[in-house]
Structure 1
């Protein structure tokens, strides 16, 4: 199937549809598809905002000639039927939900802005842009099928809707439909991700101590993002508080001061170069004596949790030869019924376990007068880079990127791939030495992605799928 003529047809197709691709990315970005379980209802298990993006995506797939199935609002899928029938299928899986928009944007976060060869907006990189690529890759084959060229296997685009907050959509799907023969998720980086660290989340809850000097602590957007801004409402005189790096102080009513700490946010799995605002805030409050006895104990816990992002200060550090070091970050802090609640997110290698992390963090909590509980967890995932499916994808990337030595690697992030027996994460992110300084990353402000990189990724996906279809699966 894949020869020079085929690749020329792919090039022509991408040129033909590209403006439609960008327009469809914009349609999805306009949905603020953040999970809201408080508004969940039958058919909208992740809330109406997330469901709006799912419905939009399903309409796109229908318009592109795919056979669409909505799975009770948990997620959906869109097929190009193959000779194998629906149960024997090759799949892509991407997601239409997002993390909250957050602060610090210089561009409208809920629409696509074109600037300097980049698309800007929440989800253009993670994962609405890549999802739209998956639909258009399937559309390429749907048009050929309409002309009489039937695929050997059904091609299925799974439309996820709960990736950012728990991936509860995939288990629901797998209870009702057979596993793909092979599946890749365009929700990561090239060349190819063959393994993912274990995922772990938990939370510390203080005793009922809030209010003596600290009326409220609040910071972060989601547990799996490093906190970029955190605030404290405290009983103090603003005029008496000194200036400090990354700290802003302002009066907040009689006898009250609002202290805002600004850090450098980022994805929990990639803490290098970030600054956790929760730690900045805790250190300032302690230095200025802005804590009662119980509050001080909790702030000292926050200092320990933010001393490093690799679990060393908290005593859970670990490493192995596949995944490298464990990471552990403090994500969100809230004040609930007079108690402070601090979440943590850890990505761990094979040399430790979720049980071991829980045991150590429970000891740390007890030493600071707090309680700790694990809230979620998944074991590490790994597929051999020597498998024929992985080799087919790697060869396609290497050809289009001009990188013959491209190798599969492992990450600390968690993608949908970990939920399937034979799967991987495959682009579209790639190293960009010419990336402008203003370009933001996933989960942060000014999230942006190179338009040329997306165009190339669409070609890679079409050719890679064609090569997967040639395998004996």
Structure 2
């Protein structure tokens, strides 16, 4: 393989197809592909909107010369057949988290501004998914021109349920087995070789609490995001309530007031710089004397859960040398059948377990008149950063960026944790000069640099070419 010629060909290819790639990203971003199991049906297990995105992605893959297989709407994949049936795979997803509040740009469209793309999914993960298809398309064109197959089958797995349960991957593995190696373009460069364990659970008041002074609590969108907004409907005179920073009070009918707490949202795994609106609301309710005996224990629990994000206050703090410290955030609060329900999301290192966290949360629940239920638990994931596949990806990244490339671990959860030999590989770069109006994944005004996306596509193509030269079938 003449690598210098390969890189020249890749440069020309990316320039040629870039506008088409942006339009394909736009096609997917326009679909509000949030999981909706309440309206699931055969062939659409994650709901109708998620399926629209899956089918649209499959049609794009077909247009780019790949052979598409849909696994009953759970997940799909697009192949470029190789000399071996063993697969080098990418996996990205077409589902998104809910839009949330605070957008300054259209959430369901791609806005191009000063070299950035803005819109829900441009970073997580519709933009990177389109990159994976165009990486495969590069090789499809070469195979068509030369008639020479790749050593391994190149497969782009089209996920459709990453943001909630990752229930799509078990279906894929049951029917298709493990790829020889897989990377997910769904995180940060240089490369993620490990992911903390993830456990989620919920507190529920044992007795109905919404008959008291607090009528309703509502905050957050999903358990794995720090809420930027939380509200309470209370029995009170709005005009008599005290003013407070980041708190908005308005009348809500006779004898009722609605209190809105405005925080700074973000991803559950990266709580630095956020302000949990549920905690802001709980403190206001307590300070303003709006909490009666029926709800006091629960609101005090909310305050405790939001005192910090490393679990110190709740007694679950833990740390190890690979993954660093645990994180724990309060994600959503709801009023369900008169009961208050609060979710938490904790990302934990190998020095503790999901069961240990659940046991401690059960003790807190009992002390605050609640029941605690563990909803899910995913154990930590780790792949040796010295293995040939990881070394290949890191070397390619360094060549294109001029940066020292070292694999690292995160608190987020990607598809990589579902496979035996996998990692998460870009495309996001932590740029200190990024404009303040560019939002993060799961937040308002989610955005990513077009230059970073272009470079990522080049890195992916050259990395795949090099992976094709490794002996992967003997592993």
Partner of 1:43: 43
Partner of 2:353: 353
1:116-152 CA-to-partner distances (Å, cap 9, x unmatched) read 1100000000000000000000000011111212100
Alignment of 1:247-266 (within 5 A): 247-266=247-266
Q: 2:189, 2:437 → 1: CA distance?
A: 22
Q: 1:354, 1:259 → 2: CA distance?
A: 34
The partner residue of 1:103 within 101, 104, 112 is 101
- C-alpha displacement of 1:414: 0.2
Partner of 2:115: 117
Q: 2:413, 2:144 → 1: CA distance?
A: 36
Greater Cα offset, 140-149 or 162-171: 140-149
Partner of 1:167: 166
Partner of 1:129: 127
The partner residue of 2:89 within 83, 88, 91 is 91
Segments of 5+ residues of structure 2 without an aligned counterpart are none
Q: 2:429, 2:186 → 1: CA distance?
A: 12
| Structure 2 residue matching 1:210: 3-state secondary structure | coil
Q: 2:2, 2:129 → 1: CA distance?
A: 23
Partner of 2:363: 363
- C-alpha displacement of 1:292: 1.5
1:5-64 CA-to-partner distances (Å, cap 9, x unmatched) read 110000000000000000000000000000000000000000000000000000000000
Partner of 2:443: 444
Q: 1:145, 1:163 → 2: CA distance?
A: 31
Q: Between Structure 1 and Structure 2, how many residues are aligned?
A: 470
1:66-96 CA-to-partner distances (Å, cap 9, x unmatched) read 00000110010000000002xx110000000
Q: 1:101, 1:39 → 2: CA distance?
A: 19
Partner of 2:426: 427
1:192-216 CA-to-partner distances (Å, cap 9, x unmatched) read 0000000100000012111210110
Partner of 2:416: 417
Query: Does the 8 Å contact 1:2/1:467 carry over to 2?
Result: no
Partner of 1:74: 74
Alignment of 1:180-199 (within 5 A): 180-199=179-198
| Structure 1 residue matching 2:183: 3-state secondary structure | strand
Query: Does the 8 Å contact 1:2/1:466 carry over to 2?
Result: no
Query: Does the 8 Å contact 1:218/1:333 carry over to 2?
Result: yes
TM-score (norm 1): 0.99
Go from structure 1 to structure 2 and tell me whether the alpha carbon gap of 1:334 and 1:2 turns closer, same or farther (over 3 Å shift).
farther
- C-alpha displacement of 1:291: 1.4
Partner of 1:58: 58
| Structure 1 residue matching 2:257: 3-state secondary structure | strand
- C-alpha displacement of 1:400: 0.3
1:182-237 CA-to-partner distances (Å, cap 9, x unmatched) read 00000000000000000100000012111210110000010000011000000000
| Structure 2 residue matching 1:377: 3-state secondary structure | strand
Q: 2:294, 2:260 → 1: CA distance?
A: 21
- C-alpha displacement of 1:2: 5.0
Q: 2:68, 2:394 → 1: CA distance?
A: 29
Q: 1:2, 1:97 → 2: CA distance?
A: 38
TM-score (norm 2): 0.98
Go from structure 1 to structure 2 and tell me whether the alpha carbon gap of 1:232 and 1:22 turns closer, same or farther (over 3 Å shift).
same
Q: 1:116, 1:65 → 2: CA distance?
A: 32
| Structure 2 residue matching 1:175: 3-state secondary structure | helix
1:240-284 CA-to-partner distances (Å, cap 9, x unmatched) read 111101100000000000000000000000000000000000000
Partner of 1:235: 235
Q: 1:2, 1:335 → 2: CA distance?
A: 63
Greater Cα offset, 163-172 or 206-215: 206-215
Partner of 1:285: 285
